[in-house]
Structure 1
Amino acid sequence: MGQVQKILTQVKGEPLKGLQFADQRWTQWRQGQIPCPTIVRTSQDNCQGYDCDVVVCGGTLGIMLAAALQRQGWQVVLLEKGILQGRDQEWNISRSELNTLTELELLTPTELQEVIFTEYNPARVQFLKGEPLWVENILNIGVSPKALLAKLKEKFLTWGGKVFEHNACTEIEVCDGGAIAKTDKLTLRTRLILDGMGHFSPIAQQARQGRKPDGICLVVGSCAKGFEHNKTGDLIYSFTPIRNQCQYFWEAFPAKDGRTTYLFTYLDAHPDRFSLEFLLDEYLKLLPEYQQTELTALDFQRFLFGFFPSYRQSPVRYPWDRIVPIGDSSGAQSPVSFGGFGSMLRHLKRLSAGLNDVLQQDCCDRRSLRQLQPYQPNLSVTWLFQKAMSVGVKQRCNPDEINDLMNAVFAVMADLGDDVLYPFLQDVVQFQGLAKTLPRVNFPTVLPLLPKLGVGALADWLRHYLSLGLYSSGYHLSKKMPPATDFQMKRWREALKYGSGNDFERETETT
């Protein structure tokens, strides 16, 4: 029995079975065996009479939008394939993002504080052979998903919403004037369906037609007790050169049940890539060096693992009326990020306002709905960053080239100041910061990467970079215009704001 199996069999919750299931799926994706279900169909039938205004499929992140829409007075039904409850592992977020829940009056400040289990400062950014960079108030809040979802569910039900657990959406029929969502037990006629079923949503898989992802973030980790030092965090950290054709990055956060540590890496879905179990074995081998402790001193509470696919053509464009992808289903998060919680909170006000307009003006056609998930050049430019942090299966390169690049880039951003550094660390790329940073990065450090990136990827990146500049200029010009009242104009202004990263709000006070 290997080290992974030996340790995981001693932890409650049967994490070994979960690892084997995730690895089976990861193997299928590497081999190109990606499901392409047919869950959505269209018909010319007339959808007469509605059971509700909105059906939300998937409750882990969907409960946030479900509660926001129910709070606005719409009748919302939430379908969840299991029980609507959060996991034990905390979600790390910044205070400014979390405050969205009180701004939308989904939680009171007191209720919000009750779901915060940990709070710390500062956090470290450091790469092999580089100096540490310490920052504050970024991903320093640990929220309990279990407590958060319980409170949102309670509010949602109090406001008149309905939750049907153990009811996975199995079929959708888009009709004339409405849509029908079906489970094994229910049939619901509705005006609008929100797909919040995540990265592996069957609706998203049908829309993508079995296409392989362009990038993967592979993640393993654990929460354990027994660490001597547990008062600071790591946002991104590396202490090894390229290993197994991958650059290993680490994160660490204080947690209620000890300390959470993650090992993650960026790669493609090539058939020869290693398994999650292999990466978890690497994690256990390197964890003692990373945290300066022995494995025998740790009491593991739980393990975490998974892979997060991302596509260059994102957000995904659904070809149907009356269905909107939200959260991870939409692909509207940065390809260098592996958490959908922050992305959902970032867009929660925009989406709740936009969906309210959709329902009020009855514009549920696909053209209007696609404006709720617009092209965002500030996310698209990060594709080149992900590619720069990955290595091909058979590619030969300097083992230190990725660490050297990261050290060079972050040294420049730190020198330019917090206005450049802080948005970037929260997956918000802004044109002004990028335009200041790139010319100052040491060219000999970048030069070896150019052949690896390729002319096509560089040309594609340049297109997104120029679009980012145009969106930034357009946003500042739009601020001088009268307030928008038309649906199309509102969505255009939101696209400029979010697509240029000008929605970013920084938490300035140290807690």
Structure 2
Amino acid sequence: MSLTEEVLSQLPGNVLEGLRRADSILASLRNGNTPVPQVVTENQNHLDAVEWDVIICGGTLGILIGCALAVQGFKVALLERGILRGREQEWNISRKELAVLRELDLLTDEELATSIVTEYNPARVSFQGGTEVWVEDVLNIGVDPGYLLETLKQKFLKLGGNLFENTPFIDVIVHPNGVKINQQFTARLLLDAMGHFSPITQQARQGKKPDALCLVVGSCAQGFSENTTGDLLLSFTNLQNQCQYFWEAFPAKDGRTTYLFTYLDAEPQRLTLENLFDEYLRLLPEYQDIKINQLKFQRALFGFFPTYRQSPLQTPWNRILPIGDSSGSQSPLSFGGFGAMIRHLRRLTIGITEALQTQQLSAQALALLQPYQPSLSVTWLFQKAMSVKLNQTIPPTQINHLLSVVFAQMEKLGTPVLKPFLQDIVQFPALTQTLLKTGLSHPLVVANILPQVGLFNLFDWLLHYSNLGIYAALFSLSPILEPFIKSLSPTQQYYWHRWLDAWKFGSGSDYE
């Protein structure tokens, strides 16, 4: 029996079986034999009646936008395949990011305070052979998903929202005046919040393999002697199994959470999640300076996150809008999930409200709610620099050395440069300063990385980098454009507001 089998077999809930089930899905995805669902069809006949303004499929994170739209006065229904409840493991985020829950009137001050169950400072960024960088107020808040989702659920119901639990999404028919879901539920608009493996998303992507994957495993355990700081991005080993291993650690309400993750392509020969869990348990004692038998494991964590260059996803159908992980609106360096949804929650609430009010529900109009964002696209080169191809040979210390140099330069440039990047937000001035300082002080490091990432990826990145600067310049014009936009019709305003949003988020200017 392997150490992974021994540890996971002691936990309740058939965790080992779940891990192997996830590996089976991963293998199917890597081999390109995942069947393409056919869950979306179109019908040119009008529906006799449309009951709701919005139906949301996927309740775990869909409740956030569902509650926000209910506050705006829309008739909203939420379909959840099981019981709508949060997981035990906290969601880590920054306190400032949570402010949107108050701004949209989703939580009271007291409820927001109650949802926060852990808080720590500072957090560390460190790579083998480099200096440690410490930051404060980044992913240092642990939110209790159980309390948060139950509170939002009750508010949603009080506002007149309809919740259908144990109601999995089966199919949807798109009509000229609405959508019909599961041959039963009708609405003007369908929001797909079913995540990375949404059948709607799978049909829209037509079985395309991911361009990259992030594999993550971890646990929450008790027994650590030190549990007052965190790690945001840490590596203490060189390349192993053709992967660079990265670690995160956060204090939790019932122990300490530690993650091991790695970025790689979707080749079938790559590590499985069970392989990575073996590595996690092998290296955890060295990482946390503790013996495995001193730990009492509370739960195990594992998953994989597919990422596509063609993101955010824009579906070909009218009246269907993917949101959150269904849309791929997070960078290839991010796990997505709660943090990505929170970042876009206000933008989506306002945009969907305007779309419904002005009847802008065509595929073309809704595509503006998930626009091209250079701030996301430029991170593909970073993903390439933090991973290595299956049969590629590079010095085993190269990735660690590169990251050590880059983060040392960002630390010198200060918090305005360092903190946005650690929160998955890339801005043109900060990126330009970092590139210039790194290139001038360590030209060989930059030169060595070019063969690793390849010329195609470099030229592709240069295009997105240029657009990042253009979007920043365009967004700077928004104060001048506002009086003009206010003079337009509501329909024209919808389009201008979406362009302003695209420039704002596409340039990372949403970071305050």
Superimposed CA distance per residue, residues 85-110 of structure 1 (whole angstroms, 9 cap, x where no aligned partner): 11000000001111110110000010
Q: Normalising by the residue count of structure 2, what TM-score does the alignment of the two structures yield? A: 0.97
Instruction: Give runs of ≥4 in structure 1 deviating > 2 Å.
Output: 479-485
Question: 2:326 aligned with 1:329, yes or no?
Answer: yes
User: Match of 1:482, SS?
Assistant: helix
> Do the aligned partners of 2:313 and 2:328 also contact (CA within 8 Å) in 1?
yes
Question: 1-side partners of 2:147 and 2:50: how far apart?
Answer: 32
Question: 2:225 aligned with 1:203, yes or no?
Answer: no
Report how far residue 373 of structure 1 moved: 0.5
User: Match of 1:285, SS?
Assistant: helix
Superimposed CA distance per residue, residues 248-281 of structure 1 (whole angstroms, 9 cap, x where no aligned partner): 0000000001000000000011011011001000
Question: 2-side partners of 1:28 and 1:481: how far apart?
Answer: 49
Q: Name 1:509's counterpart in structure 2.
A: none
User: Match of 1:313, SS?
Assistant: coil
In the alignment of these two chains, the number of paired residues is: 502
Question: 1-side partners of 2:424 and 2:186: how far apart?
Answer: 38
Question: 2:391 aligned with 1:384, yes or no?
Answer: no
User: Match of 1:240, SS?
Assistant: coil
Question: 2-side partners of 1:239 and 1:452: how far apart?
Answer: 21
Question: 2:311 aligned with 1:314, yes or no?
Answer: yes
Report how far residue 447 of structure 1 moved: 1.4
Equivalent residues in 2 for 1:237-252 (5 A)? 237-252=234-249
Q: Which amino acid aligns with 2:139?
A: L
Q: Which amino acid aligns with 1:48?
A: D
Q: Name 1:498's counterpart in structure 2.
A: 505
Report how far residue 31 of structure 1 moved: 1.0
How well do the aligned residues superpose, as a CA RMSD in angstroms?
A: 0.8
> Do the aligned partners of 1:69 and 1:352 also contact (CA within 8 Å) in 2?
yes
Superimposed CA distance per residue, residues 35-71 of structure 1 (whole angstroms, 9 cap, x where no aligned partner): 3100000011111211111000001111000000011
Equivalent residues in 2 for 1:449-468 (5 A)? 449-468=449-468
Question: 1-side partners of 2:186 and 2:313: how far apart?
Answer: 25
Q: Name 2:53's counterpart in structure 1.
A: 53
> Do the aligned partners of 1:122 and 1:136 also contact (CA within 8 Å) in 2?
yes
User: Match of 1:173, SS?
Assistant: strand
Q: Which amino acid aligns with 1:112?
A: L
Unaligned regions of 5+ residues in structure 2, if any? 487-492
Question: 2:118 aligned with 1:111, yes or no?
Answer: no
User: Match of 1:148, SS?
Assistant: helix
Q: Which of residues 346, 349, 372 is equivalent to 2:346?
A: 349
User: Percentage identity across aligned positions?
Assistant: 56
User: Match of 1:37, SS?
Assistant: coil
Q: Name 1:18's counterpart in structure 2.
A: 18
Question: 2-side partners of 1:253 and 1:2: how far apart?
Answer: 26
Q: Name 1:393's counterpart in structure 2.
A: 390
Report how far residue 339 of structure 1 moved: 2.9
Question: 1-side partners of 2:54 and 2:424: how far apart?
Answer: 30
Q: Which amino acid aligns with 1:57?
A: C
Q: Name 1:294's counterpart in structure 2.
A: 291
Q: Name 1:217's counterpart in structure 2.
A: 214
User: Match of 1:81, SS?
Assistant: coil
Q: Normalising by the residue count of structure 1, what TM-score does the alignment of the two structures yield? A: 0.97
Report how far residue 134 of structure 1 moved: 0.6
Report how far residue 217 of structure 1 moved: 0.4
User: Match of 1:36, SS?
Assistant: coil
User: Match of 1:60, SS?
Assistant: helix
Q: Name 2:282's counterpart in structure 1.
A: 285
Superimposed CA distance per residue, residues 398-431 of structure 1 (whole angstroms, 9 cap, x where no aligned partner): 0000000000100111111111111111000000
Question: 2:489 aligned with 1:489, yes or no?
Answer: no
Equivalent residues in 2 for 1:161-240 (5 A)? 161-182=161-182, 187-240=184-237
Report how far residue 156 of structure 1 moved: 0.2
User: Match of 1:137, SS?
Assistant: coil
> Do the aligned partners of 1:34 and 1:212 also contact (CA within 8 Å) in 2?
no
Question: 1-side partners of 2:415 and 2:187: how far apart?
Answer: 47
Q: Name 1:88's counterpart in structure 2.
A: 88
Unaligned regions of 5+ residues in structure 1, if any? 506-511
Q: Name 2:437's counterpart in structure 1.
A: 440
Report how far residue 13 of structure 1 moved: 2.1
Question: 2:72 aligned with 1:65, yes or no?
Answer: no
Q: Name 2:489's counterpart in structure 1.
A: none
Structure with a larger share of its residues in helix:
2
Question: 2-side partners of 1:329 and 1:443: how far apart?
Answer: 39
Q: Which amino acid aligns with 1:281?
A: D
Question: 1-side partners of 2:282 and 2:426: how far apart?
Answer: 34
Question: 1-side partners of 2:507 and 2:25: how far apart?
Answer: 35
Question: 2-side partners of 1:503 and 1:339: how far apart?
Answer: 17
Q: Which moved more, 1:444-453 or 1:360-369?
A: 444-453
Report how far residue 18 of structure 1 moved: 1.0
> Do the aligned partners of 2:394 and 2:452 also contact (CA within 8 Å) in 1?
no
Question: 2-side partners of 1:201 and 1:115: how far apart?
Answer: 28
Question: 2-side partners of 1:229 and 1:440: how far apart?
Answer: 36
